Structure 1
Amino acid sequence: MVASYTDAQGTVETVTSAASSAVDNTNDVGAIAAISGTTTQGQTLAAGAITDADGTTGGSSVAATYQWTVSDTENGTYTAISGAKSFYIYINTSRS
Protein backbone atom coordinates (compact mmCIF):
# COMPACT_ATOMS: atom_id res chain seq x y z
CA MET A 1 0.00 0.00 0.00
CA VAL A 2 1.37 3.40 -0.95
CA ALA A 3 -0.32 6.65 0.01
CA SER A 4 0.89 10.07 -1.08
CA TYR A 5 -0.26 13.47 0.10
CA THR A 6 0.92 17.07 0.25
CA ASP A 7 1.55 18.35 3.76
CA ALA A 8 0.81 21.87 5.09
CA GLN A 9 4.23 23.13 3.90
CA GLY A 10 3.61 21.94 0.33
CA THR A 11 5.93 18.93 0.53
CA VAL A 12 4.76 15.72 -1.12
CA GLU A 13 4.93 12.92 1.44
CA THR A 14 4.71 9.19 0.69
CA VAL A 15 3.91 6.46 3.20
CA THR A 16 4.39 2.77 2.37
CA SER A 17 2.91 -0.21 4.17
CA ALA A 18 3.13 -3.94 3.57
CA ALA A 19 0.02 -5.52 2.08
CA SER A 20 -2.38 -7.12 4.52
CA SER A 21 -4.42 -10.25 4.03
CA ALA A 22 -7.81 -10.00 2.37
CA VAL A 23 -10.61 -8.67 4.54
CA ASP A 24 -13.66 -10.93 4.73
CA ASN A 25 -17.07 -9.40 4.20
CA THR A 26 -19.18 -9.26 7.33
CA ASN A 27 -22.67 -10.60 6.82
CA ASP A 28 -24.41 -7.79 8.63
CA VAL A 29 -28.01 -7.94 9.73
CA GLY A 30 -30.53 -6.76 7.17
CA ALA A 31 -33.40 -4.46 8.02
CA ILE A 32 -37.14 -4.56 7.54
CA ALA A 33 -38.16 -1.42 5.68
CA ALA A 34 -41.61 -1.14 7.25
CA ILE A 35 -44.31 -2.96 9.16
CA SER A 36 -47.81 -2.56 7.75
CA GLY A 37 -51.11 -2.81 9.58
CA THR A 38 -52.43 -1.41 12.84
CA THR A 39 -51.82 -2.50 16.40
CA THR A 40 -55.50 -3.04 17.11
CA GLN A 41 -57.22 -6.20 18.29
CA GLY A 42 -58.56 -8.12 15.28
CA GLN A 43 -55.99 -6.67 12.87
CA THR A 44 -52.89 -8.14 11.22
CA LEU A 45 -49.37 -6.73 11.18
CA ALA A 46 -47.00 -7.74 8.38
CA ALA A 47 -43.25 -7.28 8.05
CA GLY A 48 -42.13 -5.63 4.82
CA ALA A 49 -39.32 -6.74 2.56
CA ILE A 50 -35.91 -7.24 4.13
CA THR A 51 -33.13 -5.08 2.73
CA ASP A 52 -29.40 -5.71 3.00
CA ALA A 53 -27.15 -3.04 1.47
CA ASP A 54 -24.43 -5.49 0.39
CA GLY A 55 -26.75 -8.39 -0.42
CA THR A 56 -27.12 -11.72 1.31
CA THR A 57 -24.88 -14.75 1.15
CA GLY A 58 -26.03 -18.29 0.58
CA GLY A 59 -28.18 -17.74 -2.51
CA SER A 60 -31.72 -19.12 -2.54
CA SER A 61 -31.07 -21.24 0.55
CA VAL A 62 -31.16 -18.10 2.71
CA ALA A 63 -34.52 -17.51 4.37
CA ALA A 64 -35.51 -14.78 6.78
CA THR A 65 -36.57 -15.71 10.28
CA TYR A 66 -39.02 -13.68 12.33
CA GLN A 67 -39.83 -13.29 16.02
CA TRP A 68 -42.54 -10.85 17.02
CA THR A 69 -42.21 -9.21 20.42
CA VAL A 70 -44.47 -7.17 22.69
CA SER A 71 -43.99 -4.47 25.31
CA ASP A 72 -46.43 -2.47 27.43
CA THR A 73 -44.53 0.74 26.67
CA GLU A 74 -42.46 1.97 23.71
CA ASN A 75 -39.22 2.00 25.70
CA GLY A 76 -40.07 -0.95 27.92
CA THR A 77 -38.77 -4.48 27.97
CA TYR A 78 -39.80 -6.47 24.90
CA THR A 79 -40.82 -10.11 25.32
CA ALA A 80 -41.03 -12.70 22.55
CA ILE A 81 -44.58 -13.76 21.66
CA SER A 82 -44.71 -17.56 21.78
CA GLY A 83 -45.21 -19.07 18.32
CA ALA A 84 -45.11 -15.69 16.52
CA LYS A 85 -42.44 -16.57 13.96
CA SER A 86 -44.09 -15.74 10.63
CA PHE A 87 -43.74 -12.56 8.56
CA TYR A 88 -47.21 -11.59 9.82
CA ILE A 89 -49.06 -11.69 13.12
CA TYR A 90 -52.79 -11.55 13.87
CA ILE A 91 -53.56 -9.50 16.97
CA ASN A 92 -56.16 -11.53 18.82
CA THR A 93 -55.96 -10.01 22.30
CA SER A 94 -56.08 -6.49 23.69
CA ARG A 95 -53.15 -5.19 25.77
CA SER A 96 -54.92 -2.15 27.23
Structure 2
Amino acid sequence: MTKETRVILVRHGETTANHEQRWYGALDAPLTERGRLQVQATGERFRRRREQEPVDALYVSPLPRARSTAAAIAEALGMEPIVEEGLREFSIGDW
Protein backbone atom coordinates (compact mmCIF):
# COMPACT_ATOMS: atom_id res chain seq x y z
CA MET A 1 0.00 0.00 0.00
CA THR A 2 1.46 3.37 -1.01
CA LYS A 3 1.25 6.46 1.12
CA GLU A 4 -0.70 9.33 -0.38
CA THR A 5 1.25 12.57 -0.78
CA ARG A 6 -0.61 15.75 -0.03
CA VAL A 7 0.90 19.17 -0.70
CA ILE A 8 -0.39 22.21 1.16
CA LEU A 9 0.62 25.59 -0.27
CA VAL A 10 0.54 28.58 2.06
CA ARG A 11 1.19 32.14 0.97
CA HIS A 12 2.95 34.56 3.28
CA GLY A 13 0.97 37.11 5.27
CA GLU A 14 0.09 40.49 3.80
CA THR A 15 3.11 42.75 3.21
CA THR A 16 3.37 46.49 2.78
CA ALA A 17 3.83 45.86 -0.96
CA ASN A 18 0.62 43.81 -1.12
CA HIS A 19 -1.22 46.55 0.73
CA GLU A 20 0.09 49.15 -1.75
CA GLN A 21 -0.76 46.80 -4.65
CA ARG A 22 2.89 46.59 -5.72
CA TRP A 23 4.70 43.54 -7.03
CA TYR A 24 8.08 43.12 -5.35
CA GLY A 25 9.10 39.79 -6.86
CA ALA A 26 12.40 38.69 -5.29
CA LEU A 27 12.73 41.87 -3.21
CA ASP A 28 11.34 41.77 0.27
CA ALA A 29 8.71 43.87 2.01
CA PRO A 30 7.81 43.67 5.69
CA LEU A 31 4.57 42.17 6.91
CA THR A 32 1.81 44.57 7.86
CA GLU A 33 -0.04 44.28 11.16
CA ARG A 34 -2.76 42.44 9.24
CA GLY A 35 -0.09 40.14 7.80
CA ARG A 36 1.24 39.34 11.28
CA LEU A 37 -2.30 38.48 12.41
CA GLN A 38 -2.72 36.25 9.34
CA VAL A 39 0.55 34.48 10.22
CA GLN A 40 -0.64 33.86 13.79
CA ALA A 41 -3.98 32.52 12.53
CA THR A 42 -2.25 30.21 10.06
CA GLY A 43 -0.02 28.81 12.81
CA GLU A 44 -3.06 28.22 15.01
CA ARG A 45 -4.87 26.42 12.22
CA PHE A 46 -1.96 24.04 11.76
CA ARG A 47 -1.73 23.56 15.54
CA ARG A 48 -5.41 22.51 15.70
CA ARG A 49 -5.09 20.17 12.72
CA ARG A 50 -1.73 18.52 13.45
CA GLU A 51 -3.28 15.37 14.95
CA GLN A 52 -5.69 14.78 12.06
CA GLU A 53 -3.32 15.90 9.30
CA PRO A 54 0.32 15.29 10.25
CA VAL A 55 2.95 17.17 8.26
CA ASP A 56 6.18 15.41 7.29
CA ALA A 57 8.14 18.39 5.93
CA LEU A 58 7.87 22.16 5.71
CA TYR A 59 9.67 23.89 2.82
CA VAL A 60 10.02 27.65 2.63
CA SER A 61 11.45 30.37 0.40
CA PRO A 62 14.48 32.20 1.82
CA LEU A 63 12.63 35.53 1.73
CA PRO A 64 11.89 36.92 5.21
CA ARG A 65 8.16 37.38 4.53
CA ALA A 66 7.86 33.67 3.76
CA ARG A 67 10.20 32.58 6.56
CA SER A 68 8.20 34.48 9.19
CA THR A 69 5.03 32.77 8.02
CA ALA A 70 6.73 29.36 8.00
CA ALA A 71 8.13 30.01 11.49
CA ALA A 72 4.60 30.22 12.92
CA ILE A 73 3.65 26.96 11.21
CA ALA A 74 6.89 25.28 12.28
CA GLU A 75 6.33 26.28 15.90
CA ALA A 76 2.79 24.94 15.80
CA LEU A 77 4.02 21.63 14.39
CA GLY A 78 7.19 21.34 16.47
CA MET A 79 9.46 21.12 13.45
CA GLU A 80 12.11 23.12 11.60
CA PRO A 81 11.35 24.58 8.16
CA ILE A 82 13.63 23.62 5.29
CA VAL A 83 14.80 26.72 3.42
CA GLU A 84 14.70 26.00 -0.32
CA GLU A 85 16.35 28.54 -2.64
CA GLY A 86 14.27 27.24 -5.56
CA LEU A 87 11.12 28.61 -3.90
CA ARG A 88 12.36 32.22 -4.09
CA GLU A 89 10.13 34.43 -6.24
CA PHE A 90 11.44 35.44 -9.64
CA SER A 91 13.20 38.74 -10.09
CA ILE A 92 11.33 40.80 -12.65
CA GLY A 93 14.31 43.11 -13.22
CA ASP A 94 14.05 46.81 -13.99
CA TRP A 95 10.90 47.83 -15.80
Structure number with bigger Rg: 1
Same fold (TM over 0.5): no
With normalisation by structure 2, the TM-score equals: 0.28
Which has the larger share of helix? 2
